[in-house]
Each structure stands twice: as structure tokens, then as C-alpha cells.
Chains A and B, each alone.
Chain A
């Protein structure tokens, strides 16, 4: 789409972006505060959970110091001070260190798992958009029985339980037909050199087609599972939106002028796009976080499985860091989506 903005429009768009970006700060701050205090209000002593029942008392004290719960002299640090310490580190990009397995920096661990989630989210997103847009516009355009069929499809897929449908796919495609792998991200020894961290892209860039095919085979089932479940929402929003636009005068006018139907459909789609885009933004954020179940079902080494695993191990700093990271990512995605609206629809300004 090409649009030429007037100077005032550009200025107003700029102001909108700045205002929206600034609004991000309190949102993220509130999220961080919530995460910080919720983790500390929960019953149970994380230190005992980590060191286990057989640990000597000096280990417990050592770990409390590491966690920032005690100062070097062994006195407990009050909660508000702990909070300020945490914030000041966070501002400097220090997410802290993991409490287990080598005590690696949390951010490094996150960055190792993030590309896998991004890859799965994008693949799932593409599947859901294709399914959602095609079926949704079909329902909206045709109306009648098709519309209700699409409505039912939306309701059913939205209600699907990911592990259940994922397992069915695994059973059918992997165990019975034997054409796709059950789990994992790539075959042993075929990992492409890391450039973006997305195996499909990296293998294409480096021309390693065996890796590409292996990665593609591995991503298919999780992407289809995730895409199918998310597509329900898209189908419903697209259908409703297309139906609404169809009722508008310009469609009737266009038809009266004898404009070809496919051209009208294009205009209808463009006009129904704002709610669809909103949904895309929301779903993209959901995909990032909501891939947990898909990742677990397919042993996909992404952020979802990582977070779940660290919760099980009571790796408090990592869990806290990951949740904050997710919060920032989701806020950023929302910001980008908002900017896109403002671009598409000049009426949207705060």
C-alpha cells in the first residue's frame, strides 16, 4: 500500500509513536514489580528447595547471599531494598545469574532459547494466518451456511487442547505413517551454523539443504498444531469483519458500477484489516508465550519448555528474568502493532 503523508500527518505520527513508546515504561515497570513481589509472596523457601534436604546450613547461607536475600555479613536484606537492587541491575541490562547449572547469566540462557520460539511462532503464525484469512473471508463473503460452518470451525479449533491434538498428529504422522518426526528441532549432527538462530533461515543462507529439510520436517507438526489452534480466532475475526464491511455502502456502490468482484473483495479485505491486525498483534504475543504447550508436546527447545523446566527447578532468578523478558517482548509487539494501526488508519491517534 502506498500512501503519501502530509507534513502534519508525519508530525502527528511521530508524536504518537513517542507517546506510545513512553507509555511502555510504566507498563513494563508495573509488570516487573508484580513479578518481583508475587515471586516473594509465594509460600515455600526457594533456598531449601534448591539445595535439597541434605544440604549443610552453610550452603543455605551462601545461597541466600547469592540470591540477594542476605548481605555479606549474613543479615537479611529488607524487601524494599532487594527490590531497588533488582531494579538498578535490570536497568543496566543485568537479569542476574541462574541459580543452577553453572550459574550462567539469565540473559544468555534466554537468548539461547528465544530463536527456537521465534521460529516456531512465525511458522505457526503463517499457518494460522493462511487458514484464518482464507476460511474467514470465505465465510464472510459467502454468508449463510458457509458462514456458520466457518463459525463452527472457529469455535472447535479455538477449543482444541494443544497436547491432545499434538499427540494425535504425532501418532498419525510419526508413529503410523512414519513420515514426520515425533519431536525435536533437527536431526543429530545437522544443525546449521548459527547466524540468526532460526534453523530454516540459517540453513538457507549457508546453503545446507539437508539441514533445511530436516528442520522443515521437524517444524511441520508443531507449526500446524499451533497454527490450527490459533487460526480459530483469526477465522472468527476475519469473518465478522468482512461481513460488517460487506454491509457498507461502498460495496453496494462498487457493485452498482460493475467493478469486478475480485477487486471489490480486495477493498473489502483492506477495510476489514484493522481488527484483523489487532488480533494478529495479540496473537503474536500469545504465540510467543502460549507456545509452552506446543513446545512441551513436541520437545521443542524454546522459551516455553525452558521456563517450565526452570519453574520445576525453582531457578527463581531465571524464572523472574524470563517473565520480565516476555513482558518486554509482548509490550514491544503491542507497540509495533499500535504503530501499524496508526499508519493504516490515520484516525487512530491518542
Chain B
């Protein structure tokens, strides 16, 4: 056998080898750090952007003859933009997201994050004033509506240029909108459902001829499918990775799908180049890594989507600011009025009364969502807490009463199935479903079975009208009460779960009425009918939370949920 001495010597030498490897690793780590920090830190350069913003006037007149004029003059002169040759720009802001960019092409992009990117590299004839849901002129300076409400004529700003300096005219608007109609991608209905034709009257005037009068057409024009795109976009097919953009504050200089997107200030933008020269968007696969990257200082802004627990934690962190604003994202329950027991209005009303919205918002989302009592979200004109007025919050007494009237009792319990989909709306979905079950069962008269199905199956079953009670969510297409009401009434995707002739009539009327006041009245009426029918029950409205490192200013968010990169800057 091996001698004790030899064994010891061998053990020592092996151990030395192991220690050596570990030491080498550590040296590598430290060396890597120092060398890396020397090599990687961008050299500082000075950028001086002096801007003179002229008087901004927005005049809005609503005349008897359905004619509106919105004029705005924004003058901006960029007197000097200087960079040290060869050195990377100093004014760079890095934004981290867990979202994805789908098609950098307005003809097929139909998700919130891509629309955000598009709205930073392109622009529409109209846009939302930052921090509000008010429309303001974008590429257009004014518009007029024909007396029959079917023709909208937009006057473009003079001297519009694409990001490479190519002039943009009314022809480009026509080409881009027609391109969307021809390609007929996912969001094309935002154009094709409403627009009959679009023509260039002259170089600076473009006319939309509608299929029927649409009061909210300017809101549609502010959506991505109406954005004029650079002539480089393929005319007849989806151009997913096209980086030529449109007429917007930034242009794409680098695009590596799922890794990073680098934007550079567009010197030709009609408002003048934005304050921050370079915006880098880093794509994370995981919310935890996103949060840690913010804490480590690798990114300046952690945007969509941090987890509720992370937001809560970050609130107390030094050097990090958390900004919360109401989002236009809503969640609701659909009762299929064709399936028993939900065909009984008493049952639907009782269940609507029993829901405990506050518990869901506080226990599942730690206060990052807010209870919602109407399909029209809070913060939007015409919003009315109809469900709260009618049923109160977590009103078990009323629920019991209604169920008793419907013939249910503790010995003859109402048995319902509540369906949810486990991942599509995040990991929190099962908790939401559980709390709804808990609240319903608190009446003592209801027995709830929770059922779940994968998103594809879930959608398919819903479409076929097979599910009684389902949980769904909605992100708006355009910021108008119409987008929060019409899509559910007599809708094929819900398996025609809900239909009410009176409501349909009101909604149709509200679409064409030209004045906001009249429309608001109609939508208020619609919300009351909605609550009375209790076929689709709102639960909560999402809030947007963004975490930024101290020193980053100009973060303005609003229910449009589009983050405007051109307003952010680093305070020196």
C-alpha cells in the first residue's frame, strides 16, 4: 500500500493545484475588472445643445359646423451640436426592459412596447401631449372636418424631413397609410375599418375619406399604423427589421434583436434634436436581472416590467426613484350570458357585487394596481364608477340577497367554474383567480371551482363560447372610450358572450357624435347599462411603474403608456 508520506505529498500537491486554479480565477476576475473598467468606460466628451423654444400656442375652436382647427407653432433652433471627434457621446441614457420589439414596421407591429419604440423613431399627424390624454398636433399643424364628418383634411408642417434628410410630403403619408392597408397586417383594422381612401391634396395637405363619420378619428391618426414611414420600407411586405424609421426624435443606429437597440438623436426632427444624444435599450430576459442591473448602475432606467415586489423594494433604495402613474391597462371578468347559470342576470349581479377588488390590488399587486368600477379606465373622460354606485365594493349582503332571489341557498349552493390562464397575464394570475374565488365563496352560497388552460386553448375555448366565467385583460389600441366598450359587445372573439341592442345603439351613436360633451354623456349612459347587465365586470386597472437612477430627469408617463425618450435627460 501507499506510504503515508507519499499520500500526504500527493494530497498537498493536488490541493496546491486546486488552490492555484482558484487563485488564477480570482486574478482573472480582478484583472478583468480593472482592465475592463479602463477599456469599457466611455470616454467623456462634451455636448452642448443650446435650444430656443419659441412660443407654443395651441388654439382650439369648436364651431357649430363641425369644424375644428388646432394650430400650434413650435419653433426650435439647434444652434450648435458639438462632439469630440471619435469619442462616444456623453449624453447617453440606458434603458432596460424585459419587453420585446416585434416588427419595427407599423404595418404589422401590434404590441405596446414596439409602438413605444415606433413613436420614438416616427411620429403621427396627431400625438398625445406628454403627461395627458389630450391630443395635440404632431406632424400636422391643423385639421378640418367636412360637415358630414366623413372627410378629415390635415395640413402638414412645412419642412419635414426623414432621419436621413429626405424631405417628407403628403405623398409619403398617403404611401404609408396605403401600404398598411395593402399589407393588411395585425393592426391594419385601425385603418381599414374606418378609412375608405386617402389622398394628397398638395405637398402639404392630406385628406382622409372615411367609410362613416368617426368622431375619434384624430385619436386613430395618432396610432402607429398611420405613421409615415421612410421610402426604404418595402412597399408590399412587412419589413420587420427595417431601421430607416420615419419622422421622429430618434433614429436607429444599431439593432440586434433581443439584445440591444441603439437610438441616436435625429438632427432633422421638426422640434430640433432631443437633449439626450443616445438612448440605448437593453433587452433583459428576466425581471430580477433587470432590477439588479439598475441597482448595479448598468442601466439608468428600469422600465417594463418590474415585479410588484421589486417595485416595493426599490422604493426605499438610495439613489433610485420610483415613479408610478395610472396605466390604461385593465382587467375584467367575462360572464358568458348564453351559458347557465350566467344567463341569469341575478347571478351575474351577485357575483359582481361580491368581488373584493381592494384585496386583489393590495394582496396580489401590493398596491401597484387600482380597483376599477367601469370598463372606461380612470383618468379618461366620461369615466364613471358605475359598478361601485350599483353594487358597492365587496358587498356580500347584496350578493346574498340577489342569490337568494335567484333561488340559491346554503343548502342549494350556486356552483360555478372560474377560468384563468396561468402565464399570459403573469405569475400573479392564479392569485387573482384565488382571491375572486375566496370573495365569492365568502357569501356562503357559492362554490367555485378554479380551472386553467394554456393561452391558446383558453382563447380557442372562449371563441367557441365554451367557458362560463373567464379572466381577461385589455391594452387599448387608441385612447378613446370607444376602444374600451365596442370590442366586447356582440364580439366573435368572446363567443358572442354579451349583446344588448340598446347598448349597441348608444355606442354606435357615440362613435359619430362630433362633440366630446355629447359623446361623454352617451358613454356615461353606456357604462350604467354595462353595470346593470353585469356581463363583463371590471376588476382593476394597472399602474405603470418605472424606476430611475437619481439624476435622470424628464420622465413623463401617462395612460397612453408610451415612454417618450426625447424628454429624458441626465441632470449634470
A interface residue numbers (CB < 8 A to B): 43-46, 48-49, 51-56, 58-59, 100-104, 130, 134-135, 137-138, 141-142, 146, 163, 167, 170-171, 173-175, 178-185, 187-191, 209-210, 213-214, 216-217, 220, 255, 261-262, 265, 295-301, 305-306, 308-309, 312, 314
Interchain CB contact (< 8 A) of B15 among A59, A101, A138, A183:
A138
A43-B454, A54-B487, A103-B238 known; A138 vs B286 contact (CB < 8 Å): no
Within 8 A of A (CB), among B239-256: 239-241, 254, 256
Q: B292 contacts A309, CB within 8 Å?
A: no
- Counting chain B CB atoms within 10 Å of each CB, the highest count among A52, A53, A137, A312 belongs to A53
**Inter-chain contacts of A141 with B (CB < 8 A):** 10-11, 14
B545 at the interface (CB under 8 A from A): no
Q: B33 contacts A185, CB within 8 Å?
A: no
- How far does the Cβ of A179 sit from chain B's closest Cβ, in whole Å? 4
**Inter-chain contacts of B525 with A (CB < 8 A):** none
Q: How many residues of B contact A (CB 8 A)?
A: 69
**Inter-chain contacts of B103 with A (CB < 8 A):** 101-102
**Inter-chain contacts of A101 with B (CB < 8 A):** 102-103, 240-241, 257
Knowing that A52-B186, A163-B286, A295-B285 touch, tell me 13 more A-B residue pairs with CB under 8 angstroms.
A134-B14, A134-B17, A135-B18, A141-B10, A142-B10, A170-B292, A173-B29, A175-B295, A181-B298, A183-B298, A187-B40, A213-B40, A299-B282
What does the 1/0 interface line of B242-278 toward A look like (CB < 8 Å)?
0000000000001011111010000000000000000
**Inter-chain contacts of B33 with A (CB < 8 A):** 179-180, 217
A134-B14, A209-B39, A301-B259 known; A175 vs B285 contact (CB < 8 Å): no
A53-B493, A130-B21, A301-B258 known; A261 vs B460 contact (CB < 8 Å): no
A261-B6, A309-B258 known; A217 vs B36 contact (CB < 8 Å): yes
**Inter-chain contacts of B240 with A (CB < 8 A):** 101-104
**Inter-chain contacts of B404 with A (CB < 8 A):** none
**Docked complex Cα distance between A133 and B280 (Å):** 42
Q: Taking CB as reference atom, which chain B residue is nearest A43?
A: B457
Q: Taking CB as reference atom, which chain A residue is nearest B457?
A: A44
- How far does the Cβ of A130 sit from chain B's closest Cβ, in whole Å? 6
A134-B18, A141-B10, A179-B29 known; A299 vs B289 contact (CB < 8 Å): yes
Q: Would you mind naming 16 contact pairs between A and B with Cβ atoms under 8 Å apart?
A: A44-B458, A44-B460, A49-B456, A101-B102, A174-B296, A180-B33, A185-B259, A188-B94, A190-B40, A210-B39, A213-B36, A213-B40, A255-B2, A261-B10, A295-B285, A305-B285
**Inter-chain contacts of B286 with A (CB < 8 A):** 163, 183, 296-297, 299
Q: B184 contacts A182, CB within 8 Å?
A: no
Q: B459 contacts A53, CB within 8 Å?
A: yes
Interchain CB contact (< 8 A) of A102 among B241, B282, B284, B454:
B241
A179-B29, A299-B283, A305-B285 known; A142 vs B7 contact (CB < 8 Å): yes
A142-B11, A183-B289, A188-B262 known; A178 vs B460 contact (CB < 8 Å): no
**Inter-chain contacts of A43 with B (CB < 8 A):** 453-454, 456-457, 460
**Inter-chain contacts of A46 with B (CB < 8 A):** 456
Q: A51 contacts B260, CB within 8 Å?
A: no
B455 at the interface (CB under 8 A from A): yes
**Inter-chain contacts of A44 with B (CB < 8 A):** 453-460
Q: Taking CB as reference atom, which chain B residue is nearest A296?
A: B285
Q: Taking CB as reference atom, which chain A residue is nearest B491?
A: A53
**Docked complex Cα distance between A48 and B238 (Å):** 20
- How far does the Cβ of B332 sit from chain A's closest Cβ, in whole Å? 14
Within 8 A of A (CB), among B430-459: 453-459
Q: B241 contacts A182, CB within 8 Å?
A: no
- How far does the Cβ of A262 sit from chain B's closest Cβ, in whole Å? 7
- How far does the Cβ of A320 sit from chain B's closest Cβ, in whole Å? 15
**Docked complex Cα distance between A179 and B297 (Å):** 12
**Inter-chain contacts of A180 with B (CB < 8 A):** 29, 32-33
**Docked complex Cα distance between A55 and B459 (Å):** 13
Q: Give the secondary structure class of A's interface.
A: helix
Q: Taking CB as reference atom, which chain B residue is nearest A252?
A: B1
Q: A59 contacts B184, CB within 8 Å?
A: yes
**Inter-chain contacts of B110 with A (CB < 8 A):** 52
Interchain CB contact (< 8 A) of A262 among B10, B254, B256, B455:
B10
**Docked complex Cα distance between A111 and B238 (Å):** 22
**Docked complex Cα distance between A301 and B13 (Å):** 40
B367 at the interface (CB under 8 A from A): no
Q: Taking CB as reference atom, which chain A residue is nearest B299?
A: A182
Q: A170 contacts B456, CB within 8 Å?
A: no
Q: A184 contacts B282, CB within 8 Å?
A: yes
Q: A45 contacts B14, CB within 8 Å?
A: no
B interface residue numbers (CB < 8 A to A): 1-2, 6-7, 9-11, 13-15, 17-18, 21, 28-30, 32-33, 35-36, 39-40, 88, 94, 100, 102-103, 110, 184, 186, 189, 238-241, 254, 256-260, 262, 280, 282-286, 288-289, 292-293, 295-298, 423, 453-460, 463, 477, 487, 493
**Inter-chain contacts of B296 with A (CB < 8 A):** 174-175, 178, 181-182
Q: A188 contacts B260, CB within 8 Å?
A: yes
**Docked complex Cα distance between A65 and B295 (Å):** 48
**Docked complex Cα distance between A60 and B565 (Å):** 36
Q: A297 contacts B32, CB within 8 Å?
A: no
Q: A210 contacts B40, CB within 8 Å?
A: yes
**Docked complex Cα distance between A220 and B18 (Å):** 18
**Inter-chain contacts of B39 with A (CB < 8 A):** 209-210, 213-214
Q: B29 contacts A261, CB within 8 Å?
A: no
A43-B456, A44-B455, A170-B292 known; A214 vs B14 contact (CB < 8 Å): no
A188-B262, A217-B33, A261-B9 known; A54 vs B289 contact (CB < 8 Å): no
Q: A305 contacts B102, CB within 8 Å?
A: no
- How far does the Cβ of B179 sit from chain A's closest Cβ, in whole Å? 16
Q: B285 contacts A45, CB within 8 Å?
A: no
**Inter-chain contacts of B6 with A (CB < 8 A):** 261
- How far does the Cβ of B302 sit from chain A's closest Cβ, in whole Å? 11
**Docked complex Cα distance between A190 and B28 (Å):** 20
**Inter-chain contacts of A184 with B (CB < 8 A):** 259, 282
Q: B285 contacts A49, CB within 8 Å?
A: no
Q: Taking CB as reference atom, which chain A residue is nearest B9?
A: A261
Q: Taking CB as reference atom, which chain A residue is nearest B31?
A: A213
**Docked complex Cα distance between A49 and B461 (Å):** 12
Interchain CB contact (< 8 A) of A188 among B17, B258, B280, B285:
B280
Q: Taking CB as reference atom, which chain B residue is nearest A139?
A: B14
- How far does the Cβ of A207 sit from chain B's closest Cβ, in whole Å? 13
- How far does the Cβ of A11 sit from chain B's closest Cβ, in whole Å? 41
Q: A265 contacts B10, CB within 8 Å?
A: yes
- How far does the Cβ of A138 sit from chain B's closest Cβ, in whole Å? 5
**Docked complex Cα distance between A171 and B310 (Å):** 14
**Docked complex Cα distance between A164 and B477 (Å):** 38
A52-B110, A188-B280, A190-B40 known; A171 vs B186 contact (CB < 8 Å): no
**Inter-chain contacts of A49 with B (CB < 8 A):** 455-456, 459
A44-B454, A54-B487, A182-B298 known; A134 vs B21 contact (CB < 8 Å): yes
Q: Taking CB as reference atom, which chain B residue is nearest A166?
A: B289
Q: A171 contacts B459, CB within 8 Å?
A: no
**Docked complex Cα distance between A45 and B487 (Å):** 21
Among all A-B residue pairs, the 4 with the closest Cβ atoms: A44-B456, A102-B240, A210-B39, A44-B457
Interchain CB contact (< 8 A) of B238 among A54, A102, A300:
A102
- How far does the Cβ of A269 sit from chain B's closest Cβ, in whole Å? 12
**Inter-chain contacts of A306 with B (CB < 8 A):** 258
